[in-house]
């Protein structure tokens, strides 16, 4: 590994509870002396505990990155006091001033919350003014929502949801202008500081397969979802940044990458360069060392038929598409604001299967959405029988605070939701078992990614190109290798096989 990312709710108070005399700054100094590590990042710094010797550490320790994430939350002293943040806006601005006066080319990012109980228009204007003055490199903007047992949920003067949304978009638009202005200044710089879309790294669970976020946010506004309000509009990472990350993974011996986005099909729509998700896959397919490329999630309304050609012709892009259906009732799809009907969805499935041999199609489905009648649910059952997904991730609809669907009438009783869920699970289990039964006797290439968690000696598991789990035994450690396995037995969720030497 070349980079470490230190995590804490408040890294500035690190060591306060230890008997030995150590501070966060001292820890950074010690880490900076370790050979082999090239970059050190950290988050989150609470302004009330910000240590000014941290400025000296960033300035003088060559491996500690020129980036500080310093949540402001609000620029209204009244709101900061109610939040119990224990600093005021003057103190916060003084920290920013000290940082910028002492460290060249420092990037400062922040978190901010709109719609906190009691937030008036004047309070919100204080925040807008502070953003214009400070000019953060990036801001992670959130709508306040009540959390059970949090003191703030008991406060009076709760801000209406529509007003929260309005303020959120004003702040996002302002920050977009500021970030664009800052990034424009970097166009002619020789030493452009690295600027990442997310200030938290993706946790890598193994040295075999890596998850890569290619975009964040969402523009779709499904009525059951709060992602567009909490994470903002779609923002695609630059192509060069993604390619660079994958090349680094290759150097670290990763075999597989998994591209993540709320809707990967719309990747690149917000970038100035002309690039599509299909083009990105094509570029990644040309990288030597990566053996498999996976992705999720594809939104049916934006499904691009040239993606079918890419999967068909790019040997590293896996034969697996995850295409959420959510419901097969046109009435429910409309209330969900999914922007497609079931005929359109089925036509996509038909095109995929007509053009790609041995493709696996999985889906997400929700039961018990407000207004779902028995006929609506039967539409979904009929569609499942007709389409025959390889696997389905089934969910009971539950209200999310601030999601439009939580305000809808005709909420479905919990017991009926559970009944429908198990009916659908039982149907899908039959379908998956039937599909997997047909694979018995066939041989597949399997990327071995796990040893048995049940402590069964010499047992390994891995996945086929179609993302099916295969379990087999072998005396040699095969982790990270692609091997051939003949399927001798199957269940609804798992294939069992023997290694072909």
**What is the percent of the chain where pLDDT is above 70?**
94
pLDDT at residue number 201: 42
Mean pLDDT for the chain?
A: 89
Res. 206: pLDDT tops 80: no
Torsion angle (degrees, nearest 10) of CA 379, 382, 384, 388 = -150
In sequence order, what E strands does 301-359 have?
A: 320-322
Cα–Cα distance between 385 and 200 in angstroms, integer? 42
pLDDT of residue 202: 47
Q: What is the mean pLDDT of residues 6-15?
A: 90
CATH 3.80.30.20 domain residues, the chain: 3-185, 209-437
- Residue whose C-alpha is closest to residue 110's, from 134, 80, 90: 134
Three-class HEC string of 393-459: EEEECCCCCCCHHHHCCCCCCHHHHHHHHHHHHHHHHHHHHHHHHCCCCCEEEEEEEEECCCCCCCE
Top-level class of domain 3-185? alpha beta
Task: For the chain, give the number of residues.
Answer: 501
pLDDT above 90 for 198: no
Contact 362, 389 (CB under 8 A): yes
Q: What is the mean pLDDT of residues 469-481?
A: 91
Q: Which pLDDT does position 185 carry in this prediction?
A: 66
Residue 316: strand, helix, or coil:
coil
What's the whole-model pTM score?
A: 0.62
Whole-angstrom distance, CA of residue 407 vs CA of residue 351: 37
pLDDT at 147: 74
Return the pLDDT at 189.
40
pLDDT score for 73: 96
| CA atoms in the 13 A half-sphere facing the CB of 263 | 23
Q: Looking at the domain that runs over 209-437, which CATH code has it been given?
A: 3.80.30.20
Residues 6+ apart with CB under 8 A from 20: none
- pLDDT at site 498: 96
pLDDT band at 454 (very low <50, low <70, confident <90, very high): low
Residues 434-455, mean pLDDT to the nearest whole number: 89
DSSP assignment of 469-495 equals EEEEE-SS--TT-EEEEEEEEE-SSEE
Encoded tokens for 328 = 């097969």
What is the pLDDT confidence band of residue 229, given thresholds at 50, 70 and 90? confident
C-alpha distances (whole Å) from 367 to each of 158, 195, 239 are 31, 41, 37
Kindly tell me if the per-residue pLDDT of 191 is higher than 60: no
Res 114 pLDDT > 90:
yes
Question: Residue 186's pLDDT band (boundaries 50, 70, 90)?
Answer: low
Domain with CATH 2.40.50.140 in the chain: 443-499
Q: What is the pLDDT of residues 377-415, one digit of tens each?
A: 999 999 999 999 999 999 889 887 778 888 888 999 989
pLDDT at 194 over 70: no
Measured CA to CA, the distance from residue 143 to residue 165 in angstroms comes to 7
Computed on alpha carbons and rounded to an integer, the radius of gyration of the chain in Å comes to 25
251: pLDDT strictly greater than 50: yes
Question: Does residue 231 have a pLDDT over 80?
Answer: no
Question: Strands of 67-69's sheet, edge to edge?
Answer: 67-69, 107-114, 138-143
User: Best-predicted range by mean pLDDT among 48-57, 323-332, 411-420?
Assistant: 323-332
Pairing of strands 482-490, 494-499: antiparallel
* Distance in angstroms (rounded) separating the CA atoms of residues 114 and 127: 9
pLDDT band at 192 (very low <50, low <70, confident <90, very high): very low
Give the HSE-up count for residue 483: Cα atoms under 13 Å, Cβ half-sphere.
Answer: 24
Domain 443-499 superfamily per CATH: Nucleic acid-binding proteins (2.40.50.140)
- Does pLDDT of 195 surpass 50? no
* 295 pLDDT above the threshold of 60: yes
Buried b (16+ CB within 10 A) or exposed e, 13-42: bbbeeeeeeebbbebbbebeeeeeeeebbb
Q: Provide the pLDDT for residue 157.
A: 86
Residue 337, pLDDT score: 94
Q: What do you get for the CA distance between the two ends of the chain, in Å?
A: 33
Q: In this structure, how many other beta carbons lie within 10 angstroms of the beta carbon of residue 359?
A: 19
Residue 31 above 60 pLDDT?
A: yes
In angstroms, the Cα distances linking 420 to 58, 325, 373, 376, 425 are: 56, 16, 11, 11, 9
Report in angstroms the alpha-carbon separations of 83 from 95, 121, 219, 465.
Answer: 19, 17, 30, 49
Among the ranges 55-59, 231-235, 311-315, 401-405, which has the highest mean pLDDT value? 311-315
Picking from 3-7, 86-90, 192-196, 209-213, which range would have the lowest pLDDT averaged per residue?
192-196
Q: How far apart are CA 387 and CA 238, in angstroms?
A: 36
Q: Which two tokens stand for residue 63?
A: 């491996």
- Strand order, beta sheet including 292-296: 209-213, 256-260, 292-296
- Measure the CA dihedral 394/398/404/406, to 10°: 150
More confident position, 191 or 401 = 401
228-251: average pLDDT: 89
- Say whether pLDDT at 200 is over 60: no
Whole-number percent of the chain with pLDDT over 90: 67
141 forms bridges with which residues in the sheet? Answer: 112
The string of pLDDT tens digits covering residues 121-173 is 999 999 999 999 999 999 998 888 877 667 887 788 889 988 988 898 899 88
| Upstream peptide bond of 297 is cis (omega within 30 degrees of 0) | yes
């Amino acid at each position: 590994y070349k980079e470490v990312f230190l995590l804490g709710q408040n890294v500035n108070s690190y060591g306060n509870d230890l008997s030995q005399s150590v501070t966060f700054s001292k820890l950074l100094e010690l880490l900076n002396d370790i050979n082999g590590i090239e970059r050190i990042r950290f988050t989150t710094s609470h302004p009330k505990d910000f240590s000014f010797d941290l400025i000296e550490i960033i300035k003088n320790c060559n491996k500690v990155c020129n980036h500080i994430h310093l949540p402001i939350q609000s620029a209204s002293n009244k709101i900061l006091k109610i939040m119990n943040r224990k600093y005021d806006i003057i103190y916060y601005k003084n920290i920013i001033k000290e940082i910028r006066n002492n460290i060249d080319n420092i990037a400062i990012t922040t978190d901010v919350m709109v719609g906190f109980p009691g937030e008036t228009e004047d309070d919100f204007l204080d925040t807008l003014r502070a953003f214009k003055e400070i000019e953060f490199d990036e801001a992670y903007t959130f709508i306040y929502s009540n959390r059970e047992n949090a003191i703030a949920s008991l406060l009076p003067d709760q801000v209406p949801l529509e007003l929260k949304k309005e303020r959120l978009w004003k702040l996002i638009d302002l920050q977009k202008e500021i970030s664009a202005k800052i990034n424009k200044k970097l166009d002619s710089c020789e030493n452009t500081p690295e600027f990442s879309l997310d200030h938290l790294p993706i946790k890598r669970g193994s040295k075999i397969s890596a998850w890569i976020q290619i975009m964040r946010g969402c523009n779709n506004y499904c009525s059951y979802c709060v992602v567009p309000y909490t994470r903002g509009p779609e923002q695609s990472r630059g192509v060069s940044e993604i390619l660079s990350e994958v090349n680094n993974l290759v150097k670290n011996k990763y075999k597989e990458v998994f591209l993540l986005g709320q809707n990967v099909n719309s990747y690149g729509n917000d970038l100035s360069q002309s690039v599509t998700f299909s083009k990105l896959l094509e570029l990644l397919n040309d990288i030597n060392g990566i053996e498999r490329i996976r992705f999720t999630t594809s939104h049916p309304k934006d499904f691009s038929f040239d993606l079918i050609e890419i999967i068909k012709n790019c040997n590293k892009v896996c034969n697996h598409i995850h295409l959420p259906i959510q419901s097969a009732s046109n009435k429910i799809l409309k209330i969900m604001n999914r922007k497609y009907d079931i005929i359109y969805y089925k036509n996509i499935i038909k095109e995929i299967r007509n053009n790609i041999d041995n493709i696996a199609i999985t889906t997400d489905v929700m039961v018990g959405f407000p207004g779902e009648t028995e006929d609506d649910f039967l539409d979904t059952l009929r569609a499942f029988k007709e389409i025959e997904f390889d696997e389905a991730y089934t969910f009971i609809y539950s209200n999310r605070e601030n999601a439009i669907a939580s305000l809808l009438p005709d909420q479905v009783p919990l017991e009926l939701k559970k009944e429908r869920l198990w009916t659908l699970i039982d149907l899908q289990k039959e379908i998956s078992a039937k599909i997997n039964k047909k694979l018995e006797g066939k041989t597949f290439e399997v990327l071995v990614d796990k040893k048995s968690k049940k402590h069964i000696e010499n047992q390994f598991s891995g996945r086929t190109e179609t993302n099916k789990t295969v379990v087999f035994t072998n005396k040699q450690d095969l982790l990270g290798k692609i091997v051939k396995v003949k399927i001798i037995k199957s269940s609804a969720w798992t294939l069992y096989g023997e290694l072909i030497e």
